[in-house]
Chains A and B, each alone.
Chain A
Amino acid sequence: MALIEHGKLAEDIWHDTDDFADAQALAPMGPIIVDLDTWRRHRDEILALDSPVGLRLQPGQTPDLVASDLHHFDLIALEFAKFTDGRAYSQARLLRERHGFKGKLRAVGDVLRDQLTFMLRCGFDSFQVATDSRAAAILEAVDEFAHWYQLALDRSATIPSLRRAAGATEAAGETGATGVAATWAY
């Protein structure tokens, strides 16, 4: 397993488990990630562990299920059971845009190069991939496109916003305006 954060290989300090006893044992060694079921059954005990807590959601487990608990999590891991299963993209956007989740959003499971930009644009900022060599290849994907049509969570200027900027620049007889914040996109 390799981890990518901030555009480079990173060390994974999180311990991921589906078992509360494991979580108890692992907590002293660093932050822990538990699944939704473990969280629901041992919520208060996990909070009492005095360790940063992350939550792992399966595809189909909508963030609405834990909306009131989100402030407890420093990290949420969303699972790509298969790279063709795109439910986690909606989960990610809902977490970021609807629920205002500010913690780390980690993609786990079938995380591949050709889906990386979709993930980045839906608000993921942490990527667990199968091998180091795959991780290196994945990073090459980041620069494949300069701009996109839709406003998304990567915060790059959208094509519609650039058009408006270009139009405004033309109208004002100026040149070189860049970085206009997009207020809408399509």
Chain B
Amino acid sequence: MYRYDEFDHAFVAERVEQFRGQVARRVAGELTEDEFKPLRLMNGLYLQLHAYMLRVAIPYGTLSAKQMRKLAHIARTYDRGYGHFTTRQNIQYNWPRLEDVPAILNELASVEMHAIQTSGNCIRNTTADPLAGVAADEIDDPRVYAEIIRQWSTLHPEFSFLPRKFKIAVTGSPNDRAVTRGHDIGLRMHRDLAGNPGFEVMVGGGQGRTPIMAKTIRNFLPVDHLLSYLEAVLRVYNQLGRRDNIYKARIKILVQSEGTDTFAQMVEAEWQAIKDNALDLPKEERDRIKAYFGPPGYDDLAGDCPELNLALDLSLAANPRFAAWVEANVQDHKQPGYAIATISLKPHGGIPGDASADQMDAVAALSEKFSFGEIRVSYKQNLILPDVPKLGLLALWRALDGLDLATANAGRISDIIACPGLDYCNLANARSIPIAQRISERFTDLAREKDIGEISLNISGCINACAHHHVANIGVLGVNKGGTEYYQVTLGGVADENARVGAIIGPAFDEWQIAGAVEDIVDVYLRQRQTNEKFIETYQRVGPQPFKEKLYGTDRARQAS
């Protein structure tokens, strides 16, 4: 893991003190709310329906056990005993007091964490593949570049008052687990013919009311030029992005209005003027950061693998619940004898992404026992232990089971992404969490979930699409009609390297119909699917019509189509 040096420590400490001063000036009346709001947002502090909400960055989704314990401590001491993990590798606290926030930031700084630029119209927390460093398909570790971007973007002198928020995601693998095409800039690692790493640069992705998948404006950017190229993109956007209409201010609208080719040419022209200058990234700095992300001290288990696999097979055969968990939640690791274990934060009927302080402490302890003290936070709002020896899986599962953290549903229908919705969020039009709870309660039979197989179901409480409903196989969007909540369904979205936006299937459902509608959609899939076909494959083959007919009846479906 990256470790702060004296300079990082000093910088974050100064940022905490700066914010302490800003809070004091706000309370003393020296800053108006209009002046203070952008300042607090740049430090992750929102004012929501019932209280403030503090969004803390988990840079590139990596946490140490010590950091996780600190998150638990903050939840217990300054909040109401829990936190909410988000799709963008942040944790949100729902009840901090304004005057406590500087103290919370101090606590975070003590474990090399912060809330810098987790909101506001600036470059946000850069996200990365949660399986960085352990995925078998990886070309290079994306965390190295995410950390470089973190430092470059932190209180950037030129790009801290952009037209709108700006999100960057990095993946080092061909299989995209970071939704790079859903970001303002997505970076995907490739190698050139000589074997040198570089990035495919995708620009202008985003969801919200105009969902657009990012367009590739450069097929291969040598890693040395990463920062000058990012700076060129940001400079074009800062000058030309719309500032007259908040709904048209994201870079995706600029790329769309200029056209991808023209936009790429504008970036190229700017880049030619600044590349090869001070912004280029020297190899020694890259190597310095890279050294922090070396592999942990794996045991050489390659020779023991047949025995390990046999032992694992025996425990699987003896314990069907454990077997179900391994099947759904455990993935192959690049290191022989090790595995990647997903800790589901989606218990049936629970709040997606929420973890209690006790659960956080317990996961910290388990990470020390089973995974070199490291934890990852995924796009799917789950936790991951990235380096578990296969021999430890059974003991890990038993411990998780006792903590209500062993739900065997990773990637399944009840592994729902949900935003906080109208239960907490000031922007929301409808509740998300109770809908997620009701839907997941209909799929408590693990055998049925396994039969349904790989599928994504995301629920957003408003068109800002924080739960990424546009790129879910089944997307649910809460809307408000005359003070009453309704839920619109989209089908066919995809969030991986083939990312695409789903299509609205028909009229919205009310809060009591929506769970039944999801079951109907699943039933159509189960009836229509061919051997080994995933939900999305069946949908792409048969199209929306059978789903419309089931949901709305033959006559209405004909009218709707």
Contacts and interface: CB of A to CB of B under 8 A. Distances in A.
Contact of B14 (A114, A145, A182): A145
A162 interface: yes
Given A144-B18, A147-B10, A163-B5, A85 B151 contact: no
A92 B179 CA distance: 35
A150 B18 CA distance: 18
Interface in B66-107: none
Interface in A132-158: 137, 144-153
B304 interface: no
B507 interface: no
Contacts of A159: 7-8, 11, 151
Interface in B114-150: 121, 148
A87 B239 contact: yes
Q: Would you call the interface of chain B mostly helix, strand, loop, or mixed?
A: helix
Contacts of A101: none
Interface stretch (B158-166, B384-392, B465-473, B542-550): B158-166
A47 B551 CA distance: 75
Q: Would you call the interface of chain A mostly helix, strand, loop, or mixed?
A: loop
B239 A114 contact: no
Contacts of B21: 144
Interface string B521-551: 0000000000000000000000000000000
B22 interface: yes
Interface stretch (B274-282, B349-357, B439-447, B508-516): B274-282
B403 interface: no
Contacts of B227: 186
A112 B162 CA distance: 17
Interface in A93-147: 93, 98, 112, 114-115, 117-118, 121-122, 137, 144-147
B151 A149 contact: yes
Interface residues of A, number: 41
B162 A162 contact: no
Contacts of A90: 158, 235, 238-239
Contacts of B273: 98
A4 B353 CA distance: 49
Contacts, number: 109
A163 B282 CA distance: 13
Contact of A85 (B39, B158, B243): B243
A148 B14 CA distance: 11
Contacts of A150: 152, 156-157
B155 interface: yes
Interface string B254-294: 00000000000000000001000111111011001000000
B10 A84 contact: no
Contacts of A121: 157
Contacts of A122: 157-158
Interface string B1-18: 000010110110011011
Given A83-B35, A151-B279, 12 more contacts: A83-B38, A85-B243, A86-B238, A87-B243, A89-B161, A90-B239, A93-B157, A118-B161, A144-B18, A147-B10, A148-B155, A149-B152
21 contacts: A86-B161, A87-B238, A87-B239, A89-B159, A90-B235, A98-B273, A112-B35, A114-B22, A114-B39, A118-B157, A118-B161, A147-B11, A148-B11, A151-B279, A159-B151, A163-B7, A183-B278, A184-B282, A185-B279, A186-B148, A186-B285
Sort A-B residue pairs by CB-CB distance and give the 9 closest, nearest first. A86-B161, A121-B157, A159-B7, A186-B152, A89-B158, A184-B278, A149-B151, A152-B157, A144-B18
